[in-house]
Amino acid sequence: MLRHLDYDNLPTHDEDGHKLSKQEAKKQRFEQIQSDAYDIYKAADWLQAVDALKVFFDRWYSLEPKALKTFLYDIDLTFNFYDFDPSLHLTFPVKSENDGRIRVSNSSPFPISWL
C-alpha cells in the first residue's frame, strides 16, 4: 500500500501547530493510515471489522484512493481469519514466531532459508 500513497493534501502543521516538512507530513500520513488500518484487525469479530473498515474507507478514500483500492483488494480473503476461534488470532506485537496461532500479517513465520 505504501507505494500507492499519493500524499495529496498533506497537512502543513502538526496537532501542536508546528510546521511540518513534506517528509514529516508524509511520515505522519502513513502512520495515521497504518494506525487506522490496524484498528480493523483489532476488531473482535467480522461485523466489527467491517464497521471499522467502513470508518477507514470514509476517512481515507478521498485522500488516498489508489492506496485504498490496493488495501481493499481481496479484503474478504483477509477477513477469513475471523472464521477461526479468536484464541487462535495473533495479536501484535508478536511474542513468539511459533506459538500455534494464526498470523494476521502476510509475513512468513519461517526463516527465508527454509523456503
Query: What is the per-residue pLDDT across 38-84, written as a single tens digit (0 to 9) for each?
Result: 888 888 888 998 999 999 999 999 888 888 888 888 888 888 878 88
Instruction: Say what the pTM is.
Output: 0.65
pLDDT of residue 48: 92
Read off φ and ψ for residue 28, nearest 5 degrees: -65, -45
pLDDT at 14 over 90: no
Whole domain around residue 13: which residue ranges?
2-114
Grade residue 107 by pLDDT with cuts at 50, 70 and 90.
very low
pLDDT of residue 113: 40
Decide: 68 and 51 in contact? Cβ < 8 Å.
no
Decide: 94 and 107 in contact? Cβ < 8 Å.
no
- CA atoms of 94 and 102, how far apart (whole Å): 11
pLDDT at 105 over 70: no
Domain count, the chain: 1
